[in-house]
């Protein structure tokens, strides 16, 4: 059983130097401003190693989302990044995290964002034992918010005028998914085909033994 895959996608840790050129391209796409709202100063090749290392150490999970090469030969093709924040040490008992995602523009609107989010939720609840995963979208990012709601994230609030972007103040919409909501309803609807069992079932030790080849 390979946990670093879902129906159409593969997931590779962000430190993988094979994908440094992709990272540089992604960070210079106009759409990065829907994702990263630090003051835009451009992104250089020199920053690639520093930023990927920082992401790897500050996040619980940071993966390149990749398409497998047909036939399984050759390197997977990176198309985006999915990440989960690391809870602070003195807050681990709350089992909260937040998810961020970006898909490079040429691969958007093909269902990959939804599939990668579903994979990250399965990972969060089944491996990291998180209880709650938050996701946020900026007021102008209507498409992302529509997608998150469709996946089952519930809107919890609006941080009014909390970001400054392109000359005006904008709201931030905050949504979250709870572990039991994901298992009880939304995981099945996402149909992402990760390692996870269907619905709210859990694997028995015997089933895991079969899946892991340790029976």
Ligand X SMILES: CC(C)(COP(=O)(O)OP(=O)(O)OC[C@H]1O[C@@H](n2cnc3c(N)ncnc32)[C@H](O)[C@@H]1OP(=O)(O)O)[C@@H](O)C(=O)NCCC(=O)NCCS
Binding site for ligand X (CB under 6 A): 31, 34-35, 101-103, 108-114, 137, 141, 143-144, 146-147
Q: Which residue is nearest to ligand X (CB)?
A: 143
Query: CA nearest 195: which of 133, 104, 121, 141?
Result: 121
What's the closest the beta carbon of residue 83 comes to ligand X, in angstroms? 11
What's the closest the beta carbon of residue 22 comes to ligand X, in angstroms? 14
> Quick one: 35 or 186, whose CB is closer to ligand X?
35
List helix spans (H) across the chain: 20-27, 45-58, 112-126, 142-151, 179-181, 187-190, 205-212
> Quick one: 114 or 183, whose CB is closer to ligand X?
114
Strands 96-103 and 132-138, bridge-based pairing: parallel
> Quick one: 61 or 102, whose CB is closer to ligand X?
102
User: Do 177 and 132 touch, CB atoms closer than 8 A?
Assistant: yes
What's the closest the beta carbon of residue 155 comes to ligand X, in angstroms? 13
| Separation of alpha carbons 26 and 6, rounded Å | 22
> Quick one: 92 or 158, whose CB is closer to ligand X?
158
What's the closest the beta carbon of residue 9 comes to ligand X, in angstroms? 10
């Amino acid at each position: 059983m390979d946990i670093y895959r879902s129906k159409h996608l593969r997931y590779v840790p962000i430190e993988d130097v094979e994908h440094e050129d992709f990272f540089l391209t992604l960070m210079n796409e106009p759409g990065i401003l829907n994702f990263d709202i630090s003051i835009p100063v451009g992104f250089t090749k020199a920053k690639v190693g520093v930023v990927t290392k920082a992401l790897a150490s500050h996040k619980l999970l940071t993966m390149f989302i990749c398409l497998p090469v047909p036939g399984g030969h050759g390197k997977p093709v990176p198309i985006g990044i999915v990440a989960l924040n690391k809870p602070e040490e003195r807050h681990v008992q709350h089992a909260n995290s937040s998810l961020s995602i970006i898909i490079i523009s040429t691969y958007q609107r093909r269902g990959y964002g939804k599939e990668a989010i579903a994979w990250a939720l399965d990972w969060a609840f089944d491996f990291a034992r998180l209880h709650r995963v938050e996701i946020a979208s900026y007021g102008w990012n209507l498409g992302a918010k529509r997608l998150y709601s469709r996946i089952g994230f519930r809107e919890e609030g609006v941080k009014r005028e909390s970001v400054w972007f392109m000359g005006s103040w904008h709201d931030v919409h905050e949504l979250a998914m709870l572990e039991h909501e994901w298992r009880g309803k939304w995981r099945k609807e996402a149909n992402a085909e990760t390692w996870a069992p269907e619905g709210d079932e859990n694997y028995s030790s015997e089933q895991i033994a079969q899946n892991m080849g340790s029976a």
